[in-house]
Structure 1
Amino acid sequence: MTSFATVVKGLATDVCLPGGAGPFPAVLIRTPYDRTRHLAQGRGWARRGFAAVVQDVRGRFASAGEWRPYENEAADGAVTARWIRRQPWNDGRYVAVGASYAAHCALVLALEPEGGAEARPDAVIAAVPALGAADTAREPSGVERLLARAGWWAAHGDRGDSEEDALGRALAGDPGLLAHLPLTGLPGRLGRALPSWAGLWQRRERGRLVCRAVRAGVPLLAIGGHHDHFTEDTLALWRAWGGPSARLLLGPWAHGLVASPGPDAGPAHRLVLGELYARWAQRALAGGLSPGRCGVFGLGGADLWLSADTEGEPRVQRVRLLHGAVFTADPDRPVRSDDLDVPAGGIPDRCLLATPPLPRPVDAAGPVRCRLRAAADTPSADWAVRLVALAPDGTAERLALGVLRREEPAEGEFTVEMGRLARRLPAGTRLRLEIAGHHFPAHARNPHTGEDPVTAGRLLASRRKVDPASVTLTLHVLPSRPHPIDPAKEILR
């Protein structure tokens, strides 16, 4: 094995070559998170016969230039891809690989037209993909993902290196940091310049890469987690992919995948992802994957894997009102995303409903949605619907969440989509449904004035009314015990 460092058009690059004469297929990883942290990953690819190329993106760590998130990756990646294909150690083939922002770098090489055919990878591995600035900043309904974006920009935005816990330290000094208005003033409260912060919220071109994925011409392996904030984007990418084959691996993990398992992950969900990636890449480059779209997802709480085509039958769960048919959504006292406790007494801050205990175990596999008739007395209103599992021992765990922004009319019947659930719910579990006006600090507070929540300088309380008889909670439930699938066999077939 041989390793060396070089510079490609100002971009700091490390190369790790397998032993032997070569030439070899290559793997390209472009990252804003410091290429030196990928040394072990590069060596792992080299041990499996790939030339691993790891690069700092423009303006980050050892690479020259100005760091502008999501702006230069297609052009810079194309320059690097053409350079790889001209090296004597490359056999003319390469796989674009990445997780989170690095997955964005890999995907634009396959989907953006800047580089042409020579720059296009022969296959793509995209884990927990950050599809673009607008995709990461907002929910499909337009609601702002405040906490995740504030944390990322504080750690990585507008700087050449990273300060991983910058937001955490700032919150320790000022727990109300994210509550100050306007949100565009956050950089000043952090004590550093973040010129791209305000511009982030002006971007609304969500779905660009998913639209382009329909015309993809190479194989895809998409990896995500049920507890990741990009789960729906991962699924949308896989479903839209128009290449010769598309594979999905979706486990009971958070953004760090197997390194951050959810509370419902079991021993069967502890896959060795590096080995699976390499075997898939070898088969993809050899043309050995069967055409079409397939994959697997882990059923949380059940320690098994199911085919990605598995989906339960829609079943409406009976819910009864506990309290709060009329409540006040006060942005000065918002329902918090980091607290599952429900306050007792006082003016209700949410509508609270619950199911009876489940008489038998339920395997929920598929979308979750809540239908309701409700009204707000303000020109703009967010409706945050949270589903919580209450175990027989009294512990609470969030299962699903949906946030919908509604402008006028203030009253009506509507559906809040709450993502996909893949979970075995034990007998005796009660499901608690919370309907609120805020989900803070995960999401920005709607000021209820009709102003942009990012630039608003004042907040109003909003009186809400929910018709309890109209509320339906729909889960997709498997009618019988599911047939387990071997994830490696499904991904590699």
Structure 2
Amino acid sequence: MTPFGAVVEGLATDVHLPGGAGPFPALLIRTPYDRARHRAEARGWARRGFAAVVQDVRGRFASPGEWRPYENEAADGAATARWIRRQPWSDGQLVAAGASYAAHCALVLALDTPGDARPDAVIAAVPALGAAETAREPSGVERLLARAGWWAAHGDRPDSDDGALDKALAADPGLLTHLPLTGLPERLGRSLPSWADLWCRRDRGRLVARAAHAAMPLLAVGGHHDHFAEDTVTLWRAWGGPSARLLLGPWGHGLVTAPGSDAGPGHRVNLGELYVRWASRALAGELTAGRHGALALGGAGLWLPAGTGGEPRVQPLRLLHGSVFTADPGRPVDSGDLTVPAGGPPDRCLLVTPPLPRPLDVVGPARVRLRATAHTPSADWAARLVALAPDGTAERLAVGVVRRAEPPGREAGFTVGLGRLARRLPAGTRLRLEIAGHHFPAHARNPHTGGDPVTAVRLLASRREVDPGSVGLRLHVLPFRPVPSDPAKEILR
């Protein structure tokens, strides 16, 4: 195994070659998070017969230039892919791989570059598809905490400080409450010119639209508890290449290093081994056509085929309190706190199901349908689903937020999507549904004035009214006991 450094189109690049004469298929990772972090991974690929190429993107770590997130990756990736294919150790076959932003680099190389630069297969883990996708929910509501954390750690700087936002919040717990949100860089004490530009991006869906014309196999890997779980599934469903595989586990953004509380021993997967085996089969043309894969059933320690879905059922709900409440952006519902305040004027509508008489396997999209009224020209409606275990512990299952603009005082019917669930709920579990006007700081506060939440400097309280009889919680429930599946077999077939 022979490692060496190179400068490709001015960008710092490490190459790890297998032992032997070659030539070899190549694996390319382009990252803004320091190529040095991938040395062990690159050595693993090289041991399995791949020439592993890892590169710092423009303006990050050892690569010179200006760091402009999501701007230069297609052109720089194409130049690197062409360079790889010209090397004597390359057999011309190329796999593009990456997680998070690096997955974006791999995808734009596959979808936005000419044929001579395109990879022959793509591994996209927890893909951050683009600036617009990462900044906002599909409904347009701003993902404040996640984006503030990322920009504080990585934005407009050549290196990273992963704990930057945590340190800033420790010094100023009200950091994210200051208005306008465009002033965050000044409060962090450093220049972040790309922060304000982030919120102007409205090109959501561009990569997914192009995915329909993909010409190579895809392995999409995600976590049920990841910000981008829906985008991962959407990418898999849209992919037009000869085969598409999905692995969706009970994990957060760090995948197997960030298991959720519903992860069990049966959900342990050696991702590195699986990636190499999939890449080898993809390059050899040994994958069957179509979309296959595996998704974890959280709380049960088993896997299901990725196409598994339950039957829609509406769960009975009983109103506890808050059919009339005040959504006050000065005192928003805390996205990180599952405690419901006792006493005082209600800040949310609270409903609950009876205890489940038997275990329930919920697999598929969850939605809340309701009729409600806001007495301000703009209103966000946040729905949070919480599992209440028989022992009294509470666990967040899902959250959805939509933004509505109706004449003040006009009742409207609408649906709030809560994303996908794949979870076994034990007998005795009750489901608590909270309907609120904010979910902060995970999401920016709607000022209720009709103004942009990112630039707003004035906040209004909003009176809300929910028709309890109209609220329907729809879950997809498996009507049968599921038959376990082997995730490796589903990915590699």
Question: Normalising by structure 1, what TM-score?
Answer: 0.99
Write the letter of the residue equivalent to 1:212. R
Q: Map 1:115-134 to 2 at 5 A.
A: 115-134=113-132
Q: Please give the alpha-carbon distance, in whole angstroms, between the structure 1 residues aligned to 2:293 and 2:115.
A: 28
Which of 206, 209, 216 is matched with 1:208 structurally? 206
- Give a deviation string over 1:91-114, Cα, whole Å, max 9, x none: 0001000000000000000111xx
What pairs up with 1:324-363 in 2 under 5 angstroms?
324-363=322-361
What are the Cα deviations for residues 65-114 of structure 1, in whole angstroms up to 9, with x where unaligned? Answer: 100000000000000000000000000001000000000000000111xx
Residue 380 of structure 2 is matched in structure 1 by 382
Q: Does 1:446 align with 2:446?
A: yes
SS of 1:435's equivalent in the other structure is strand
1:411: how far off? 2.0
Residue in 2 that maps onto 1:76 = 76
Corresponding residue for residue 474 of structure 1? 474
Please tell me the residue identity of whatever aligns with 1:176: G
- 2:362 is aligned with 1:364: yes
- Residue number among 281, 303, 308 corresponding to 2:301 in the alignment: 303
Mapped to 2, the partners of 1:427 and 1:413 lie a distance apart of: 32
Pairing of 1:176-195 with structure 2 (within 5 A) = 176-195=174-193
Q: Which residue of 1 aligns with 2:87?
A: 87
* Aligned Cα root-mean-square deviation (Å): 0.5
1:64 Cα deviation from its structure 2 partner: 1.0
Q: Deviations over 1:425-450 (max 9, x none)?
A: 00000000000000000000000000
2:265 alignment partner, one of 255, 264, 267: 267
Aligned partner of 2:278 in structure 1 is 280
Letter of the aligned partner of 2:163 in structure 1?
D
Residue in structure 1 matched with residue 109 of structure 2 by the alignment:
109
Query: How far did 1:372 drift?
Result: 0.3
Q: What CA deviation, in whole Å up to 9, does each residue of 1:176-230 have, x standing for no partner?
A: 0000000000000000000000000000110110000000000000000000000
CA–CA distance in structure 1, aligned partners of residues 475 and 164 of structure 2 = 39
Q: CA deviation at 1:138?
A: 0.2
What does 1:396-415 correspond to in 2, within 5 Å? 396-409=394-407, 410-415=410-415
Name the residue aligned to 1:426.
Answer: 426
Once residues 127 and 411 of structure 2 are traced to their aligned partners in structure 1, the CA distance between those partners, rounded to angstroms, is 36
CA offset digits 1:125-160 (Å, max 9, x no partner): 000000000000000000000000000000000000
AA aligned to 1:120 is R
Letter in 2 for 1:98: G
Distance (Å, rounded) in 2 between the aligned partners of 1:207 and 1:346: 43
Matched residue, 1:250: 248
SS at match of 1:310: coil
Displacement after TM superposition at 1:349 (Å)? 0.2
Structure 2: runs of 5+ lacking an equivalent:
none
Secondary structure of 2:304's counterpart equals: strand
Give the letter for the 1:454 counterpart.
V
Q: Indicate yes or no: 2:226 matched with 1:228.
A: yes
Secondary structure of 1:116's aligned partner? coil
- 2:32 corresponds to: 32
For residues 4 and 154 of structure 1, the distance between their equivalents in structure 2, rounded to whole angstroms, comes to 32
Counterpart of 1:402 in 2: which secondary structure? strand
Identity rate, percent = 80
What is aligned with 2:15? 15
Q: Secondary structure at the match of 2:116?
A: helix
Residue in structure 2 matching 1:166, options 160, 164, 172: 164
- Code of the residue aligned with 2:162 in structure 1: it is E
Distance 1:119 1:178 in 2: 42
Letter matched to residue 312 of structure 1: G
Q: Give the corresponding residue for 1:462.
A: 462
Q: Deviations over 1:20-59 (max 9, x none)?
A: 1100000000000000010000000001100000000000
Partner of 1:150: 148
Secondary structure in 1 aligned to 2:391?
coil
Aligned to 1:483: 483
SS in 2 for 1:365: strand
d(CA) in 2 for partners of 1:89, 1:454: 50
Moved over 6 A (4+): none
- Deviation of the 1:408 alpha carbon: 1.4
